[in-house]
Structure 1
């Protein structure tokens, strides 16, 4: 089992951070490993929405489908995938710190199977490193849009 929690403080209003992060169309802009996203259900995002993601991880291309299982606008987004090499749950939360400061958390939990299982001992460390890069990128993207 891999369970990685990362967080960052972004100098932007909560609503702006949450709307940007919760929009799957933006994922390739701030996730280092995500190459593309395709909606498999009608927009906008809601419980039951499904999106197909293509990503690079450990030098391999991964294709998987996420389904939204919980969505509280401006507070929390939970997505799960049951297929693919790595059944995974991804949780975003957002909370205001002050007027224009938002704390965003990104948590990934899952059980590697198949090829990925070989990397279980290192997976947590690699995912934490990737998640920190992703959070730094979304912080940069959102804070730059203010300037």
Structure 2
């Protein structure tokens, strides 16, 4: 089991951070490894929405579909893979520290299978590094 939790403080109001982060169309802008996001269900984002992502991780091309399992605007977003090589759950949470500072957490948990299973001893540390890069990138985008 891989369970990685990372967080960052972003100098922006919670509404700006949560709206940007929860929009799958923005994922390729701030996720270092995600190249594209394609809606499989009609917009807007809601329970059951499905989004297909293409990414590169550990030198491999990955294609997977996330389904929205829980969405509380401005508070929490939970996505689970509906298919793909690595059953995964991604959870975003947002907490207002004051009017202009937001704590964003990014948690990934799952069970590596197939090719990924070979790397499971290193998976947590690699994912933690990648997640921190992603959080630093969203922070720089939103604080511009």
Q: TM-score under structure 2 normalisation?
A: 0.99
Residue deviations 1:66-87 (CA, integer Å, cap 9, x gap): 0000000000000000421100
* Structure 1 Cα separation of the partners of residues 132 and 17 of structure 2: 16
* Structure 2 Cα separation of the partners of residues 143 and 113 of structure 1: 37
Per the alignment, residue 75 of structure 1 pairs with: 75
Per the alignment, residue 49 of structure 2 pairs with: 49
Residue deviations 1:96-141 (CA, integer Å, cap 9, x gap): 0011000000000000000100000000000000000000000000
* Structure 1 Cα separation of the partners of residues 82 and 45 of structure 2: 19
Number of equivalences: 144
Per the alignment, residue 89 of structure 1 pairs with: 89
Q: How does 1:101-140 map to 2 (within 5 A)?
A: 101-140=101-140
Residue deviations 1:24-45 (CA, integer Å, cap 9, x gap): 0000000000000000000000
* Structure 2 Cα separation of the partners of residues 39 and 129 of structure 1: 27
- List gaps (5 residues or longer) in structure 2: none
CA shift in 2, pair 1:78/1:3, >3 Å: same
TM-align CA RMSD: 0.5
Which 4+ residue blocks in structure 1 deviate beyond 2 angstroms? none
SS at match of 1:85: coil
Q: TM-score under structure 1 normalisation?
A: 0.97
* Structure 2 Cα separation of the partners of residues 12 and 137 of structure 1: 14
Per the alignment, residue 7 of structure 1 pairs with: 7
SS at match of 2:84: coil
- List gaps (5 residues or longer) in structure 1: none
